[in-house]
Amino acid sequence: MAEQPLRVAIIGYGMGGEVFHAPLVAATEGTEVSYVVTGNEQRAAAAQARYPGVTVVANPDELWRHADAIDLVVVTSPNRAHAPQALAAIGAGLPVVVDKPFAVDVEQAQAVLDAATSAGVAVSVFQNRRWDGDFLTLRKLLDDGTLGSVTRFESRFERWRPTPKGGWRETGGADEAAGLLYDLGAHLIDQALQLFGPVTTVYCEADRRRAGVSSDDDTFIALTHAGGVRSHLWVSAVASDLAPRMRVLGDRASYVKFGLDVQEAALRDGRRPDLETDWGVEEKSQWGLVGTPDDVAPAPTEPGSYQQFYATVARALRGEGAMPVDPRDSIEGLRIIAAAQRSHREGIVVSL
């Protein structure tokens, strides 16, 4: 008899739930979207149309009544609700995946991890950018020694959105974990930590450039890693000229890459990795360059593979290895965000 699919409940069906989590869960062999939590009638209808047989409930309290019919909870609600809803899932005895940021602050995140450890249930954080094609390519270049010893890692998520969209991400405060530092910044920090290890100092400049915005929309972070690498990270909604996505300087060669990973656009278009043979494959014209000023060559971009996140979750829940992202990594990321906020507020370099 075939193994019963893992039944997944997704709390929140905004962009995170609809565009990222639900399609990736549905694309993963042995998992299914069983429950969606949303109080929005249009989103409920969209979920039911795309996933026939899904049960839609209006709020998390109603979801917990179905705990016996759920194998995994995905929390992709507004940031301020991440920790409370993760704690509620753990209290119901259910494993949980939390979208980034893991929580509003280190204390909340640690409380979630402690509760999961005490209850003996698994918890992970959706740091999907570890499966971006450019990140995977850079890891390969580092592992095979092409770049030599890296001195500087420059990484950016820049956009040109001069007119604010509104909503809590742009108008919320620190208690809502609003702004780009918590959003795209959490990804850049996580990538830097994965590539170059622990951080010893943090410096940050965080600005609000657009009228009507109360959270950062143009931010720079400088990290010094214990191994000596310096990471310079930018997130911006007001970049009228887009700089390289990555510029990595080593003592043998550099890696320079423009353009964003192709997977988000594909997911926004309603595509799925299980339905395509060339998922995550980037056109040659978008490949980065490796070399020195006198000797440079294209570096084929590794195929992006967001589908690996939930495939690894499914294996972990069946006792076949660890969850894909250790929540302690995301706690360290929140520690760096807190240091960055202090750096900007006090105009100092913060030591960790």
Would you state the pLDDT for residue 1? 39
pLDDT confidence bin for 174, thresholds 50/70/90:
confident
Strands (E), 43-100: 55-57, 72-75, 96-99
CA 16 – CA 143 distance, rounded (Å): 32
pLDDT confidence bin for 173, thresholds 50/70/90:
confident
Q: 96-99 and 72-75: which strand pairing? A: parallel
List pLDDT tens digits, range 21-56. 999 999 999 999 999 999 999 999 999 999 999 999
Strands of 254-257's sheet, edge to edge?
Answer: 295-299, 288-292, 254-257, 246-250, 150-158, 230-236, 218-225, 199-207, 350-351
pLDDT confidence bin for 309, thresholds 50/70/90:
very high
Q: What count of other Cβ atoms lies within 10 Å of the Cβ of residue 31? A: 21
List pLDDT tens digits, range 68-116. 999 999 999 999 999 999 999 999 999 999 999 999 999 999 999 999 9
Residue 249 DSSP symbol: E
Would you state the pLDDT for residue 175? 87
List pLDDT tens digits, range 180-215. 999 999 999 999 999 999 999 999 999 999 999 999
What is the pTM (predicted TM-score) of this model?
0.96
CA 46 – CA 192 distance, rounded (Å): 36
DSSP code per residue over 48-63: HHHSTT-EEESSHHHH
Domains with residue ranges and CATH for the chain: 6-126 (3.40.50.720), 129-308+335-351 (3.30.360.10)
Measured in whole angstroms, the distance separating CA 274 from the mean position of its chain's CA atoms is 21
pLDDT confidence bin for 3, thresholds 50/70/90:
confident
Q: What is the mean pLDDT of residues 237-258?
A: 98
2 has a pLDDT exceeding 90 = no
Q: What is the mean pLDDT of residues 307-331?
A: 98
Q: What is the mean pLDDT of the chain?
A: 97
